[in-house]
Structure formats: C-alpha cells, structure tokens
Structure 1
Amino acid sequence: MQNLSCLLYGPEDARFEDRPLPIIEDPMDVVVRIAYVGVCGSDLHFWLHGGVKKFVSEEYPLIMGHEASGIVHAVGPGVLNLQPGDPVAIEPGVPCRLCSRCKSGKYNLCPDMQFAASPPFHGTLTKYYKTPADNCYKIPPSVGISFGLDEAALIEPLAVAVHSIRQVSVQPGDKVVVFGAGTVGLLSAAVAREFGASTIMSVDVSREKLDFAHSYIPNGRLSFSTAIPNQSLSAEENAQCLRGMHRSSHFTESDVPGFDVAVEATGAESCIQMAIHALRVGGCFVQTGLGQRNVNFPISTVAENEINVRGCFRYGAGDFKMALELAFTRKIELKPLITKVFEFEDAVEAWENVRRGNGIKTLIRGVGYTDSSGSERNGGSTRYGPQYL
C-alpha cells in the first residue's frame, strides 16, 4: 500500500485503507512520513462516540490522529528551511492567516481552522501527511542525538500546557492547584514550575497517577503535593480541605486563604466546582480539559470573589516554540510520560488502552517506522536517522 491510513467510520468502527498519496500543490507544502502519533482524550471521544461537536459517518470517514512527529519526505519549491530527511514535530492546525483572530495573534480561534482529525480534515494516523512548512518544527542536530521522535510527538500536548499556564499568567511565588494528573495536567504542573510557582498541588482520583506525579515533578525549591478528593464530601467541602492542607503546611499567616491559580484539566463537573472554590479571592481559573458541554458552574462564587475565568483552546502564538525550548533544554522531560507504544495496525488496541485508563501517554508507531540501527536506545526511545520497511 502506498499510503496506509486508519479511518474512523463511526463509533468503534475503524478501518485500515490505502489512501491517495498527498501531492505538493503549494510552494510551501511539506509531506511528512509519520513516525509517531499520540493518543489523547479527544481521540477516545471519537472512538467511542464518533466525534465531539462534528461527527464522522459512513459517507465521510476520518483519518484519526493529531499529536505527531515524523521525517520530512518531500518539500515544495518555496521551502528553504527544511529538506527530506529532517526530523520534525508537527503542529496540527492550519489557520486561514487572514481573519481578525489570526491577525491579532489568536490563530487558535480562527473560525476557518483546518485542524487534523477534526471533521472534515484528515489527521496524522497515516503513512504520509501533508502540511505547511511553518507547521513543521525541525529537531536541530544539537539535540537530535538525544531527543527522540517519540518525545517529539508530545510537543503538541506540551504546547497545550504552555498555553494554559500563559492564559492565567502564573507568576513566581504563585500557589497553583492542578486538577487531573493525566498528560496535560502533569505537563501543566511542570510548566507552572518553570514559570516560578512555589507551591503546586496535583488532584486526581487515581493514586497510581498521583504516585507517578510525585516522581515526575522535581521538588527542589518547589513545594509539591497530591490529593485525592473524598467522594463522600461535596465539591465545596473538598475545596476547603485542599485550602486547609496548604494553609497549614505552606502558607504564611498573612496569606489570603486559597490558591492563586487553578488549572482544570479533567472536564469533570465536580473538579470544575472544586477548582473555583479552592481559589483565593481574586484568583485565576483556567478551563483546559474538555468534558460535558453543560455543567453546573458556581457563578455566584466567581462573582463574589472576583475570580478571573479563562478558557484554553489548543495553543496560540509562541506556545509551540516555547514547548520546544522547554523540551530541548530538558527543563521538562517528555520521555517518562510515554507508557506504551503500539504498532500502527494495533491502533484500536491503543485507543482501548487509553479507555481502560492505563498509564499516562500512549503512542502509535508510524507505518514501518524504525530507527537507523534497528535497535532501541536510551530507554527504548527511537532516535532520528530512520529506515522504513
């Protein structure tokens, strides 16, 4: 097959098919041979329900995947900064570049965004994928020998975390609570640490994930702790417990009770409510996780405490670049988050693995991808210099 792809036709209906090879039409087009594709929560929603806001169908199936890395296969005549063989991380959204949102730097809010694996735009779970050159971020030789393309596939969720923390302008000394210890929650905590947060608490219902969080987030100057909500208490009561835990351990007597920033990375109604109630007066809340579209929101608390509420949708200007810098300099390690890598033909099992809540980050290997030596080095990370079978 020339371009083996994994398409979703409906809930729990995935099929492997040969698709047309992408053709370079624009001078700035780049065709990438995909190396790794990450599985995220939106992929699981599509697998279980056939979509989120827009849905796939028998008539309009969709190639899945948007967290991806690969090797440049071909470039258009206008591309000067990339050449075949270059390893790249892929930003999966192509804005119109012309509307007022794009012109103001908020291209993630472009109404005509063409985002991978968002109907009707096909995704990266394919052998060859075409995208504009400026959506391909080259892994420089200076870091390439130690930075794998498996790690490069996680630049996308790291960019989400960067955008989330920038939305609430975390400052040195801030006390931050993060709800959810999945990939984005953990990365949000890591980014908050790099932005200077002095206290971070990670909240999740999974003890296994919280134990991992303790090993993943280096303490050093940082006061890091974890908490599991009490299922018998209300969201407000749990929030009071969270505030009390840190007030007794890390806050000074002059501190206003509560956290400066709350990052909600689950989408669960109870966590949203808990996050609002856990904040100090004048604190900042950012909704990063996507869940049910209609939830009970503590609007009176928001008004009375003048809580600053922000949304987080993907990433905007500078977020991908900052994510790359944090990863390349090893200020944030991505390799430890990778729990398991599935072969391309086992994509469905990869989605089911996420459905079962196993591990942190699941990857799907690109069609026939292997490293140049045929071996796995440095803890199993595949380094660039690829061969394709």
Structure 2
Amino acid sequence: MAAWLVAVNTLKIQPFKLPPLGPHDVKVRMKAVGICGSDVHYLKTLQCAHFVVKEPMVIGHECAGIIEEVGSEVRNVVVGDPVAIEPGISCWRCDHCKSGRYNLCPDMKFFATPPVHGSLANQIVHPADLCFKLPDNVSLEEGAMCEPLSVGVHACRRANAGPETNVLIMGAGPIGLVTLLAARAFGAPHIAIVDVDEKRLAVAKSIGADLCVKITTDTQDVDENVTRIQEAMDGEIDITFDCVGFTNTMSTALKATRAGGKVCLVGMGHNDMTVPLTPAAAREVDVIGVFRYKNTWPLCIEFLRSGKIDVKPLITHRFGFSQQDIEEAFETSAKGGSAIKVMFNL
C-alpha cells in the first residue's frame, strides 16, 4: 500500500505494485518518511518548478527503513539492517555522472518527481548502493532527515563554508535550519539567520544560531533590512545562503554579502527575479546555484553519529499511516506555523 496523489488536494492510500527485485536491488520496509515542501507543492498544485504531475503518483522522498530482501549481488547491506535512503537514481553514463556531479543527471529518476513514484509506502525496491546503513545510535527518523540535511551539507560544500567564514542564512524554514546545522558542523564561527516569523527564529536560536534578525516582507525595505543585518552581524558576511529564493531575499543577500563573498541560492521560491546583479558583480560577489546534493549521506550519518548535528528538535509532528493520518499530516505541514518537519512512522 502507498499514499497516492490522485488530484489537487487529494491523497489516497491504495495498492502499490512493486517492481521486481534486481540483482543489485533491495526491498526496504519503510519506517520513517518526512514531508518536504515540494510534496506540499505537488498536493496543492500538481506541480513543482517545471515538474508536472500528469497521472496518479506515490508521494514522499525523505525516508528510512529496514532491509527485508536483498538481490543476489548485494554486499553492502543485509536483511535486518536499518538504512537511510538516497532518493535519486542517476544514469551513471552521462558526462555529469562520470564527472561526479550526478545530481545534475538529465535522466535522474527521483522519488516523487513525476513520473517516478515516491516512498510513502509500506515497502519499496531501490538500488542497494543508495541505501546507507545506520549506526546503532542513529534512529530511523534521523535517517530520514539525512535527505533535507543533505541539501544543507551540499550547499556548505558548494560555498566552501568553514572556520573562517561568517554565514548569513535567509529563511528559518526546514532547509534554512538544516543549513544552519550544517554550517555549524563545517566550523562556521558566526551564523546569523533572518526570517519574518519570530517562532521560527526562536527555533533557530535554540539549535545554535548566534544571531536572529526579524525583517519585514515589504520589498521596498531591502536597503533597510541590509543595514539592520549588517549592523547586527558586527562584521562582514562571507557567505549568504538564500534558503527562500524570493526576489527580495536574493536582493538582500546580494547587497548584504561583503565584496568578494558568496551568495548561495538554495531556495526556489520565485522562478524569475529582478535583482541588483550588476552592483554585486562589480564587488565580485559570486552567485552559486544548488540543486539537491551528491555524495552526502555518509557525511550526514557521521555528523549524526558523532553528535556534531542533532536533527531531532526539527521533528515537530508525527503521524501514522492511515487515510486520516496522511490527510492530517499534509494539512499540518502546509499550515507551517509550529510545524517544521512532519514525520510519518509506518
């Protein structure tokens, strides 16, 4: 059985026929699945960015479970192993894959990205090399959180965050918060986070933000917001992570970051923006794009195992796997508010 997206605002638990188990595949009994913003986008509009749902699709891609069956050639895991699952299957043949940037593979098959089915199901079949065994002290819920955490880790790698970089994060939603955790684990000495919601900022403070700045949503206030942020930071901003992706957050990021610094665009709120790019270029501010992640699961698991990162405070709501549960869970996630990460326990 699986949670199928069948129409706008309509999810139904229905039978799900699994593909056959190949020699390099495993069958996983799902135990923990989180709700991502993209899942909510698909539920509300049947599309996210340029991906459009044209026929019923199983939802979900942040997941972990227990190995139930292994293919004849599988050596990295055995039946009974708890695993965190990387949701994208790349082709391994194109130039992007062969150069190591497999997240850019044009033929990527990614859970719950049309037309590929997702993982909010009792069981899935997946390549074994995309299943990573969890240590004894890392729970299945934490394993499922490796997926959003991977976005923050990949962003920090792309921007070269480290012990000599002061960091600003635009947006204290789930991705902004995991980027905060990742930046701290990478050694960033001073991290400020900006949002319009005081409750989200309180969460950011509780998990390690050095400074929280509440700003307005008025686009005309970009210069005022930049001044407030720079004064509050009391030092130059080396890297800004825009984890919202709106015109005003990107404009603020470009203006607030020091000359020679970096702006890493993580959020995808607006498809088209009009931003002050020429003044930023004149100060040699580098703009870096981020799309998903690559080779992040082993590091995420090590951060969790060692205690360098604790994602447990981000899991705010839990639901089971019934028709009522999936409806209430997605409604809770869509409302936002106190809900950061909504998790299914199957």
TM-score by length of 2: 0.95
Corresponding position of 1:272 = 250
Q: 1 CA distance for matches of 2:92 and 2:32?
A: 28
Establish whether residue 361 from structure 1 lines up as the match of residue 341 from structure 2: yes
Q: Unmatched 5+ residue regions in structure 1?
A: 252-257, 367-389
Total equivalences in the alignment: 341
Q: 2:40 aligns with which of 30, 41, 44?
A: 44
Instruction: Name the aligned partner's letter for residue 183 of structure 1.
Output: P
Q: 1:207 aligns with which of 198, 205, 214?
A: 198
Q: 1 CA distance for matches of 2:125 and 2:196?
A: 40
Partners of 1:171 and 1:197 within 8 A in 2:
yes
Instruction: Name the aligned partner's letter for residue 27 of structure 2.
Output: V
Q: Secondary structure at the match of 2:169?
A: strand
Q: 1:349 aligns with which of 328, 331, 343?
A: 328
- 5 Å-filtered alignment, 1:171-320, equals 171-217=162-208, 224-231=210-217, 234-247=221-234, 251=235, 258-316=236-294, 318-320=295-297
Partners of 1:267 and 1:290 within 8 A in 2:
yes
Instruction: Name the aligned partner's letter for residue 327 of structure 2.
Output: V
Q: CA deviation at 1:33?
A: 0.6
Partners of 2:11 and 2:327 within 8 A in 1:
yes
Corresponding position of 1:9 = 6
Q: 2 CA distance for matches of 1:299 and 1:129?
A: 45
Q: Deviations over 1:115-173 (max 9, x none)?
A: 00001110001111111001000013xxx1x3211111101111111000111101312
Corresponding position of 1:333 = 310
Partners of 2:76 and 2:129 within 8 A in 1:
no
Q: CA deviation at 1:10?
A: 2.5
Partners of 1:240 and 1:277 within 8 A in 2:
no
348-357 or 83-92: bigger deviation: 348-357
Q: Unmatched 5+ residue regions in structure 2?
A: none
Corresponding position of 2:17 = 20
Instruction: Name the aligned partner's letter for residue 212 of structure 2.
Output: T
User: Which is greater in Rg?
Assistant: 1
Corresponding position of 1:115 = 110
Instruction: Name the aligned partner's letter for residue 4 of structure 2.
Output: L
Partners of 2:25 and 2:128 within 8 A in 1:
yes
Q: CA deviation at 1:231?
A: 4.2
Partners of 1:22 and 1:128 within 8 A in 2:
no
Q: 1:68 aligns with which of 60, 63, 66?
A: 63
Q: 1 CA distance for matches of 2:217 and 2:92?
A: 47
Partners of 2:158 and 2:288 within 8 A in 1:
yes
Instruction: Name the aligned partner's letter for residue 309 of structure 2.
Output: I
Partners of 1:354 and 1:362 within 8 A in 2:
yes
Q: 2 CA distance for matches of 1:239 and 1:301?
A: 14
Establish whether residue 161 from structure 1 lines up as the match of residue 141 from structure 2: no
Runs (4+) of structure 1 exceeding 6 A deviation are none
Q: 2 CA distance for matches of 1:19 and 1:207?
A: 42
Q: 2 CA distance for matches of 1:83 and 1:77?
A: 11
Establish whether residue 34 from structure 1 lines up as the match of residue 30 from structure 2: yes
Q: 2 CA distance for matches of 1:148 and 1:188?
A: 21
Q: CA deviation at 1:79?
A: 0.4
Q: 2 CA distance for matches of 1:321 and 1:115?
A: 19
Q: 1 CA distance for matches of 2:270 and 2:8?
A: 18
Q: 1 CA distance for matches of 2:276 and 2:57?
A: 37
Instruction: Name the aligned partner's letter for residue 228 of structure 2.
Output: C
Instruction: Name the aligned partner's letter for residue 18 of structure 1.
Output: P
Q: Deviations over 1:72-123 (max 9, x none)?
A: 1111000012111110000000000111000100000000000000011100
Q: CA deviation at 1:204?
A: 0.8
Q: Secondary structure at the match of 1:184?
A: helix
Q: 1 CA distance for matches of 2:276 and 2:333?
A: 31
Q: Secondary structure at the match of 1:259?
A: coil
Q: CA deviation at 1:18?
A: 0.8
Instruction: Name the aligned partner's letter for residue 276 of structure 1.
Output: L
Q: Secondary structure at the match of 1:6?
A: strand
Establish whether residue 56 from structure 1 lines up as the match of residue 43 from structure 2: no
Q: 1 CA distance for matches of 2:257 and 2:27?
A: 46
